[in-house]
A and B are shown apart, each in its own frame.
Chain A
Amino acid sequence: MKIPLSWLREFVELSESVDELTTLLDDLGLVVEGVQSVGEGLEDVVVARVDEIRAIEGADRVRLVVVDAGSGPLEIVCGATNFAIGNYVPLAPVGAELPGGFVITGRKMRGVTSNGMLCSARELRLSDDHEGLMILDDLTTPRVGEGLLQALGIVPDVVFEITVEGNRPDAWCVEGVARDLATRLQRPLASPPLAEPNGTDKTATVAVAEIQAPDLCGRLTISVLRHVTVGPSPSWVAQRLLAAGMRPISNVVDASNLVMLELGQPTHPYDASRVASRTLRVRGARPDETLVTLDGVERTLARPGRGLGDTGVDCVIVDGDDDVIGLAGMMGGSSSEISDTTTEVLLEAAFFDPMTIARSSKRHRLRSEASARFERGVDPQLALRAAARFVYILRESVPELEWLAEPLDVRGTMPAPVTVELREGDVERLLGVALENQEVTRLLEGLGFRVMAAGSTLQVTAPSARLDIRAGAAGRADVIEEIARLHSYRLLPRHVPSWPSPGGLDDRQVLRRKLRDVVVDLGGVEAWTPTLISDREFDAVQPGAERVRITNPLADDESVLRATMVTGLVQAWARNVERGEGNVILAEIGAVFAHPSAGEPRLTKGGVGGSVELALPRENERFTILLGRLEDSAVTAVALWAVMAARLGLSEVVVRTDLAPATFMHPTRAGLLVDRASGAVLGRVGELDAQFLQSVAPGVGSRRAGVLDLDLDTLSDRSLATPRSDNASVPSRFPSALFDLAFVTPEGLHAQDLALALRASDELVEDVRLFDVYHATGLAQGARSLAYAVRVSSFDRTLSEAEVAEVRETLIATGAALGAVLR
């Protein structure tokens, strides 16, 4: 919202500097996004008349324009096309300095010298309009060569661009901002002059107002204005609108806009002669009724929308024939629009149900200045005051204006006034500091609250403009926020709380940190790949499978939730390979998603009021590592896992051949990480399939990449990922005996299983470690030789040769039982 300082000063005396005011507004929660000077730096700009327009040879974007600015013909090169011979336009002559410090020089373009610049309103910082040149023909008597400031009657001003928070509908106008300032600064708030009805006829004799849907419309007022002459607004009105970012249109429309900006009440003027029976009724639209709104769009009404709980209620204004002539509170229809020939106006000022307007506005994708205000809540008591202000402003350009007596004022369901009880200690309980009741009362009354003391309790009634103030405990918080805000957050105390429970991380968070540290310590680089991927990327891993889809993606290739991070990592790797930086380990921790129909959905509360059980995608947290260095393969991936398993203290995990590997895995280099004790699969290890690499990242050529893909949900569950016993064993002080055993083992016997079996077969066995694997040509298909180094010892003696030999025999027997034959 743009608010000129000069306008604010009509409501409250402000002697502060612009910087001081900016700080003050910020501290009141009226965030100043920018401060603009209007009319500053326009001293050199003059009014010029277009006398001639010629094409320039070889140029299709610019034309040569000959203007007269009071001292004879002047040639200007200009790119705009929105003007014609005879129009008056602003000229910045050579040497002029425009707002922002841009100095005009005599430039030569296409062989023609341009002796200045013809300007748009934006270039002059008079409005945001940059559609073409600012056309000055609306001036009552444009005079060639006159200074633009004098011609427009502009007094240099400062405009604050303020963002008003959603809970401050009352502050979305000049008066509302001024009210905050006046309260904070303890200064009086002025009220703008209003008109009184001066007609002799009563409004009810010529017009009808009726609310047929009291839930949708709380109040409908209609004023009848006669002897209207539609024409330009007085220049101060036009300027105010321009400064506030709106374009002046005509005195009637401008008065409506001005009142909205000033007091916050949107009003709608109708051409009375074009409203059947001079009747305005409010009702809900019927299915498939249509309306062509002022923006020229035909809208079909009362259709349920996509929004949760949106049943398609549209509040409409209908005329005496029951024809829809406006979408209430949003936009009027073109049939009853004010035109040059309008002589009688019906002025509607109403209060509509905020939620209804919010839903309609969203459904029709129609956001107007009016709908934005109504959906947040316009003061229901404001309607006739706004009408009086409208008439006052319009009367300045139409002195003969007649406002008929007793404007119509009918009621539907009005919001009930809210009274909140502030008990002793409530303010201190929330803010941590007690404020005097006297100060509390002063602050609240400044904002229009009524405060009644009853003992030590204050009964606080919210003003009608504060529809954001709720009842009960929530309302108490609302009121205390207002107190804190007006008092200033910066003056409130600070206190560091403490509590007896210690902070800390849970098991999963500790595990995640450990795993990340291992990977980083071993040279891994952590990546962040997209959660939202394309169908093609999804299909590369799970062709045709059900996927979790985004209804409104930013782009088609970001429309599906990933089911694995492998694809993203491969693509990240490929881009680094292309840059010659592919000798890298890339790792990512993140969530992957499974469609609820794939089983194990996450059941949660949903629907309106959380009353429905919803099946949401299962989210699986994984740690996926792509080993892309030149020496990497499934083997280095296994080695990396071994270090991680050791870091986590997992003692029961073995690598099993993955008989049904994922599509991205190399089919004969795919393993599963299996916890022998629980049987749980903790992840997969191996190499990426060459065909898969080709399909998602052709750039990597024939390079091999190891992959480790861990399931953190399983890993962080101690019943699934069995930890080593916490009990430590002190090694024996007696010497150990060492010997090697080599077995010829059949296909399918895992080296780790055999090692664990050997280790468990005699309590004297201290350690069994695989040190050689040998695929001999003479052995049976799939058979290989596994050589283990065995260490045996006793806690109470040095083992004799015979005892060692006995253990050796036990181990050989253990091997034999598993099909392993001593070599």
Chain B
Amino acid sequence: MTSSPLKDLARHVEELLATVRELTSMDGALEAEPTITGKRSILSTLQKSLGSLEPEARRDAGAQLQEARRVVEEAFATRKNELAQVARSEALASDRIELGDVIVQNVRWPVDAGHPGLVASTQRSLEDVFVAMGFRVSEGPEVESDWYNFEALNIPPAHPARGLWDTFYVELGDPETVVLRTHTSPTQIHLMEDAVGSNSLPIHAVMPGRCFRRDTPDARHLATFHQIEGLVVDRGITFADLAGVIETFTRAFFGPDISSRLRPGFFPFTEPSAEFEITCTICHGEGCRTCSQTGWIELGGCGMLDPAVFDAVGIDSEVWSGFAFGFGIDRCAQMRHQIADMRALIENDVRFLRQFS
């Protein structure tokens, strides 16, 4: 029997394992890698020497060598991992800052102008207009039960009108009982319930907030968007008051040369319902592509609160009446800044964001 090229394999493995054990740093490990498991390793040299063996012997030797390599590689990986952890904890220790010791006056802060979000600043302008008109501002949750998002708003289960809203359902409770709110209208229900509970009618409020519809985003729509909703519940409120509020708001927000008009529409929670349109802000009523030559663009929906909604929240519709309206905040921003593609709003490219103040 000729001397096997692997006769010293056990010793080689022992030596390699010892080398691995003696590694003390990640840098050292990376430097040693070629001689431990890489091309300059004794294991690679032995591998090459197997070529001279008979096939059967070569197969056996190959298996032995492979096992040896596995042992060494495993040990090396373990060691590297240990070293990395040591390195990290050392780095973390030397990085430690006692944040309570920070002397704020000594911090250097480069001067640069910041930029509020376009949606946030549009929302703020809208709120300011309505606050000046005597409205409070209210907010509500983004995850709602079917009751608040639909049923209390006179949209019972399976009602075909539900098709108007492409709804994201949340995996909680029974199927389709929890939703991402598709509009800000559920906040109306919360407000009315609270007012009934605390005996604090009337209500004059606007409700801005984030909404969700299962609609593939395109240049004009995002699946996540923002609405502002208005609600007045008081004595003697009429459709004329609704039209007057819409007109006052339109002129205050869009400018004195922009006015509003109503045309019949349908929302389950208002009756009569209307779509409201405003003078096209691009052509100021002359007719252009944006308004399909009509001079008007649709902004939102509104109407007198449906008695069924009053019933759902326990308000006597013989005593109280009211109206609601709602429209898109993002859409107002898009119109005001003539943003060609709404998706720019969610891309967070600071080159885009820096244009707004």
Is A bound to B? yes
Q: How far is the CB of B92 from chain A (nearest CB, A)?
A: 5
Q: Is B102 an interface residue (CB 8 A)?
A: yes
A503 touches B180 (CB 8 A): no
Question: Considering the chains assembled together, what is the distance between the CA atoms of A658 and B152 in angstroms?
Answer: 45
- Give the interface SS of chain A, mostly helix, strand, loop or mixed: mixed
Stretch of A163-171, A210-218, A261-269, A808-816 at the chain-chain interface:
A163-171
Determine whether B349 belongs to the interface, using a CB cutoff of 8 Å to chain A.
Answer: yes
A552 touches B169 (CB 8 A): yes
**Partner pick for A581 among B111, B175, B312, B351, CB 8 A cutoff:** B351
Q: Does A355 contact B (CB under 8 A)?
A: yes
Q: How far is the CB of B175 from chain A (nearest CB, A)?
A: 4
**Which of A306, A354, A634, A691 is close to B176, meaning CB atoms less than 8 Å apart?**
A306
Residue A572 CB within 8 A of the other chain: yes
Closest chain-B Cβ to A587's Cβ sits at a distance in Å of 8
B21 close to chain A: CB less than 8 A: no
- Report chain B residues within 8 Å CB of A642: 104
Q: Is the CB of B103 within 8 A of A430?
A: no
* A551–B204 alpha-carbon span in the complex (Å): 36
Indicate if B75 sits at the interface (CB-CB under 8 A): no
Q: Tell me which residues across on chain A come within 8 A of B248, comparing CB atoms.
A: 496
Q: Give bound CA distance, A765 to B350, whole Å.
A: 47
Within residues 477 to 522 of chain A, which ones have a CB less than 8 A from any CB in chain B?
477-478, 480-481, 484-485, 489-490, 492-499, 501-506, 509, 513, 516, 519-522
Determine whether the beta carbon of A669 is less than 8 Å from that of B349.
no
Q: Taking CB as reference atom, which chain B residue is nearest A524?
A: B114
Residue in chain A with minimal CB distance to B264: A29
Q: For B157, B224, B265, which residue has the most chain A Cβ atoms within 10 angstroms? A: B157
Assess the B204–A376 pair: CB atoms within 8 A: no
Answer yes or no: A636 CB below 8 A from chain B CBs: yes
Q: How far is the CA of A516 from the CA of B321 in the complex (A)?
A: 37
- A525 and B114 contacting across the interface, CB-CB below 8 Å: yes
B134 to chain A, nearest CB (A): 4
Cβ B117 vs Cβ A528 within 8 A: yes
Cα distance, A639 to B134, chains bound together (Å): 38
In the complex, the answer to whether A629 meets B110 with C-beta atoms within 8 Å is: yes
How far apart are the CA atoms of A629 and B110 in the complex, in Å?
Answer: 10
Give per-residue flags for B139-152: 1 if the beta carbon is below 8 A from chain A beta carbons, else 0: 10111111110011
| Complexed CA–CA distance, A633 and B96 (Å) | 12
Stretch at the interface among A450-458, A612-620, A719-727: A612-620
A634 touches B114 (CB 8 A): no
- Count of A residues near B, CB < 8 Å? 142
Cα distance, A589 to B117, chains bound together (Å): 10
Closest to A168 in B: B266
Q: Which of A112-120, A148-156, A307-315, A793-801 contacts B (4 or more CB under 8 A)?
A: A307-315
List the one stretch of B44-52, B64-72, B160-168 in contact with chain A. Answer: B160-168
A476 — which chain B residues lie within 8 A by C-beta? 307
Q: Name the CB-closest residue of A to B217.
A: A554
Q: Are A432 and B158 interface neighbours, CB within 8 A? A: no
Known: A554-B216, A606-B177, A752-B100. A166 touches B161 (CB 8 A): yes
- Assess the A489–B263 pair: CB atoms within 8 A: yes
| Binding-face segment, B7-15, B32-40, B54-62, B234-242 | B234-242
Q: Is B17 an interface residue (CB 8 A)?
A: no
A296: chain B residues at CB < 8 Å are none
Q: Is the CB of A27 within 8 A of B263?
A: yes
Q: Is B53's beta carbon under 8 Å from chain A?
A: no
Given A590-B210, A614-B145, A639-B107, are A308 and B99 neighbors across the interface (CB < 8 Å)?
A: no
Q: Which residue of A499, A531, A769 is within 8 Å of B142 (Cβ)?
A: A531
A474 adjacent to B307 (CB under 8 Å): yes
Query: Which residue of B130, B238, B318 has the most chain A CB atoms within 10 A of its CB atom?
Result: B238
Min CB–CB distance B107 → chain A (angstroms): 4
Q: How far is the CB of B244 from chain A (nearest CB, A)?
A: 4
Tell me how far the C-beta of B179 lies from the nearest C-beta in chain A, rounded to whole angstroms: 10
- A431 and B240: CB pair below 8 A? yes
Q: Provided the pairs A308-B177, A772-B103 are in contact, do residues A504 and B131 lie with their beta carbons within 8 angstroms?
A: yes
* A412 interface residue per 8 A CB criterion: no
A93 within 8 A of B: no
Interface segment, one of A80-88, A197-205, A649-657, A730-738? A649-657
Chain B interface bracket (under 10, 10 to 19, 20 to 34, 35 or more): 35 or more
Q: How far is the CA of A127 from the CA of B98 in the complex (A)?
A: 74
Residues of B within 8 A of A472 (CB): 307
The CA-CA distance from A430 to B323 in the complex, in Å, is: 10
Q: Are A528 and B350 in contact (CB under 8 A)?
A: no
User: Are B151 and A608 within 8 A (Cβ)?
Assistant: yes
Interface status of A362 (Cβ within 8 A of chain B): yes
Query: Is B108 located at the chain interface by the 8 A CB criterion?
Result: yes
Q: Shortest Cβ distance from A535 into chain B, in angstroms?
A: 13
A503 touches B109 (CB 8 A): no
Check A530–B239 contact: CB distance below 8 A: no
Decide if B102 touches A655 in the complex (CB within 8 Å): yes
> Is A586 close to B, CB under 8 A?
yes
On whether the beta carbons of A619 and B141 are closer than 8 Å, the reply is yes
A692 CB-CB contact with B under 8 Å: no
Q: Is the CB of B115 within 8 A of A576?
A: no
Which residue of chain A has the shortest Cβ distance to B112 in the bound complex? A523
**Chain A's nearest CB lies how many Å from the CB of B62?**
38
Does residue A234 face the partner (Cβ distance < 8 Å to B)?
no
Chain B residues closer than 8 Å to A558, beta-carbon distance: 223
Contact partner, A550, options B169, B174, B243, Cβ 8 Å: B169
Query: Would you give the shortest CB distance from A254 to chain B, in whole angstroms?
Result: 27
Closest to B171 in A: A549
CB under 8 Å from chain A, chain B span 66-113: 88, 92-93, 95-105, 107-113
User: Looking at the complex, which one of A530, A585, A634 makes contact with B99 (CB distance below 8 Å)?
Assistant: A634
Is A525 in contact with B353, judged by CB distance below 8 angstroms?
yes
Q: Which residues, 724 to 771 on A, are CB-close (under 8 Å) to B?
A: 750-753, 769-771
Report the Cα distance A525→B117, complex, angstroms: 7
A524 to B142, CA, bound (A): 26
Shortest Cβ gap from A267 to chain B (Å): 21
Q: Please determine whether B348 and A575 come into contact, CB atoms closer than 8 angstroms.
A: yes
| C-alpha spacing A769/B210, complex, angstroms | 43
Minimum CB–CB distance for A522 against chain B, Å: 6
For A635, what are the chain B residues with a Cβ–Cβ distance below 8 Å?
Answer: 97, 99, 102, 107
B241 and A432 contacting across the interface, CB-CB below 8 Å: yes
Residue B172 at the chain A interface, CB threshold 8 Å? yes
CA distance A322 to B136 in the complex (A): 62
| Nearest chain B CB to A684 CB, angstrom units | 10
User: With the chains together, A558 CA to B96 CA distance in Å?
Assistant: 36
A503–B133 Cα distance when bound, in Å, is: 7
A614→B131 contact, CB < 8 A:
no
Closest chain B residue to A593, Cβ basis? B143
A518 — nearest CB in chain B belongs to which residue? B114
Partner of B264, one of A485, A554, A581: A485
Decide: B111 and A523 in contact? CB cutoff 8 A: yes
B178 interface residue per 8 A CB criterion: yes
User: Which residues 276-311 of A sit at the B interface, judged by CB distance below 8 A?
Assistant: 306-310
Q: Is the pair A503, B172 in contact by a Cβ cutoff of 8 Å?
A: no
B145 CB to nearest chain A CB (Å): 3
Complex contact B245–A496 (CB within 8 A): yes
24 residue pairs of the A-B complex, CB under 8 angstroms, read: A28-B264, A306-B175, A308-B158, A308-B174, A310-B157, A473-B317, A474-B307, A495-B238, A495-B243, A496-B247, A499-B134, A501-B134, A522-B114, A526-B353, A548-B170, A579-B349, A604-B148, A605-B148, A607-B174, A610-B152, A639-B107, A657-B99, A667-B92, A770-B101
New A-B pairs, 12, CB < 8 Å, besides A489-B262, A554-B214, A610-B152 = A362-B158, A503-B131, A523-B113, A525-B114, A526-B114, A581-B349, A605-B145, A605-B148, A634-B99, A636-B109, A639-B107, A668-B96
The residues of B with any CB-CB pair to A shorter than 8 Å are 88, 92-93, 95-105, 107-117, 119-120, 124, 127, 130-137, 139, 141-148, 151-152, 157-161, 164, 168-178, 180, 202, 204, 210, 212, 214, 216, 223-224, 232, 234, 236-241, 243-245, 247-248, 261-266, 268, 271-275, 304, 306-308, 312, 317-318, 321, 345-351, 353-354
Closest 8 CB pairs of A and B: A432-B240, A29-B264, A432-B238, A606-B145, A165-B266, A526-B117, A481-B272, A671-B99
